[in-house]
Each structure stands twice: as C-alpha cells, then as structure tokens.
Amino acid sequence: MTAKQQYKRPNAVLEFFGRMTKAFSAKLGVILFVIIVLVCLIGPFFSPYDVNGIDLINMFKGPSKAHLLGCDEMGRDIFTRLMYGGRYSLALGLCSSLFGAAVGVIIGSVAGFFGGKIETFLMRLMDVWAALPGMLLCILVSNVMGSGFFSTVLALTVGGIPGTVRMIRGQILTERSKEYIEAAQSINCSSFSIMFRHLLPNVIQPVIVTTTMGIGSTMIMAASLSYIGLGIQPPNPEWGAMLATGKTQIRTYPHMLLVPGIAIALTVFAINLMGDGIRDALDPKLRD
C-alpha cells in the first residue's frame, strides 16, 4: 500500500507535452509558433508606427534601420502591418479550425452513435457536401456572407466539416460495439452522456491531429481567399491581402511580396511541425 501511495501520477498534460517535444522538429515548431504568436500579440504595442498611417515620403522604401522590413505603396511600415496582419491570420486559422472541428464532431457523433436512418441521412448529406470542393464552397459562401471577420470564419469552416464527420463516425463505429459502452448502457446512462463522456474521449485523438494540421491549411486558404479579393479586405493588413498588393509591384519592389509570403509559410511550417509532433505523441504504436 505504501508503495502505491508514494507513486505520484505524472501530470497528463506535462507528460504529453514532454513526449511531443522529444523530437527536434516538434521542439522547433513549438518554439517558432510561440515566438510568432508573441510577436503578433505584443509587438504592435512597441511599434512607433500606425498600422494604417500613410507616409508618402517613405513610399516603397526598402528595409532600413527605421523600417526593418521596408515600406509599402503608401509608405506604411511593413513590419507593423505584418504583426497586425498576423493577428488576423492566426485568429482566422484557429477559429475556423476549432469551429469546424466542433461542428464536425457533433454531427459525426450523432451519426455514428444513433445509426439507422439518421446516420444514412447525415452521411448522404456529407457526400453531397464533399462533392463541392472546399475552396469552391469557401468562395461561394464568402461571396454570400460578405467580407467581415466572422463571415470569413464561416466561409473557411464549411469546407472542412465533411472530413471530420466521416472520420469521427468511422471511429465511433469501431468503438460502439465495445464492452464499456454496453456497461454504460446497462447502468442506464443517457445517450448524451454515453456519447460525450464515454465515446468522445476515445475517438477524439485523430480529430486533434487533423485539427492541428488543419490550422495551417486553413491559414493558407484564408490567404488565398483574400488574395483573390474575397475574405478580409484591404486596408486591413491580412497577410494574403498584403501579398495581393505586393503582387502588383512584383517587378519593382519584390520585398512587398516576399515579406508576407514568408510570414505565412513560416507560420504554417511551425504549425505543421507541431501537428506532426502531436500525431507521433498520440500514436500508441510509436509509444515506448
């Protein structure tokens, strides 16, 4: 008994984090991501420039001591705009992925748990939904909803839902027949409680991995959307919108294009490295 009392259960979150950052690439991803988030959140308070402050003397100026990454076509400081834009891009990526995952998990659990006609109906609905590729739905919904932040989140969300639903349902189908579900049913647990307290924790792992990886691809989609003139609109400094303005100056001032593009790529790179780390940490086959 004493031996059992002395044994201290390791903190699950800390243990997971330790396992995740064991690989160098995942460690790099976490460090990069934290730096990017901190710079975007805190950086603007230290910037001497206004995000939309026009300064025509410094138009198209290259990188210098005063303007670390140069100035754009209205003389606005690109580094300041990059930090503000990062807030948009990161928030868009995070909100859309989480919202999409939540909706997908709810529909998928309902379909997988109840089965029968409800399942057939929901899954056929998903077939139709998935027949329109994500980017197209995104363009169409964004066209209907207009260009605000929340409309863009909604537009970015719709494309990813069928994938999550199918995955969750598939997972639930394999779990549904296991003994602990039968045990829960036999002690008169409500469907709701079985679904969310017993089933969900056992099927959520692949969702966590795909949602993390999804943040990166959603950020790319958000950037593509503002690049083709939908989604977040100028003069708001979203990274894709900055890239679109930069494209017009590609012959003369390539720094306007390179800076936001590299920012997107670097952020998505960091998120994907983290996603790989999470996948390896959650995969029981790879556990020591």
Partner 1 sequence: MSRYVIKRLLLTVVILWCAGFVVFTLTYLVPGDVAKILLGPEATEDVLVIKRAALGLDQPYLVQLGRFMYNTFIRFDFGDSWVFSSSVMAELLERIPRTLIIGLSGMIINVSIGTILGIIAATHEGKWQDSFVMVIAMVFVSAPDFFVALLLILLFSLKLGWLPAYGIDSWTGYILPIISSSLGAIAVNARQSRSSMLEVIRADFVTTARAKGQKESVITRKHMLPNAMMPIITGVGGGLAVMIAGSPVIESVFSIPGVGAYLLSGVNQHDYPVVWACVIFLALFTSFAILIMDLCYAFLDPRIKAQYSRGKKVKG
Using rule CB under 8 A, residue 230 touches partner 1: yes
Using rule CB under 8 A, residue 249 touches partner 1: no
Of positions 10, 18, 62, 146, contacts partner 1 by CB under 8 A: 146
- The residue among 189 and 266 lying less far from partner 1, judged by its C-beta, is 266
DSSP-derived secondary structure for 36-86? HHHHHHHHHHH-SS-TT---GGGTT--S-SSSTT-B-TT--BHHHHHHHHH
DSSP-derived secondary structure for 99-148? HHHHHHHHHHHHHHHH-HHHHHHHHHHHHHHHHS-HHHHHHHHHHHH-SS
Residues 201-220 close enough to bind partner 1 by CB under 8 A = 216, 220
Of positions 259, 273, 274, 281, contacts partner 1 by CB under 8 A: 273
Shortest gap between Cβ of 132 and partner 1 (angstroms)?
5
Structure tokens at 110: 């309902």
Using rule CB under 8 A, residue 247 touches partner 1: yes
Per-residue contact track with partner 1, 71 to 110, x per CB under 8 A? ----------------------------------------
Interface with partner 1 (CB under 8 A): 25, 127-128, 131-136, 139-141, 143-144, 146, 216, 220, 223-224, 227-230, 240, 243, 247, 250-251, 254, 257, 261, 264-266, 268-269, 272-273, 276
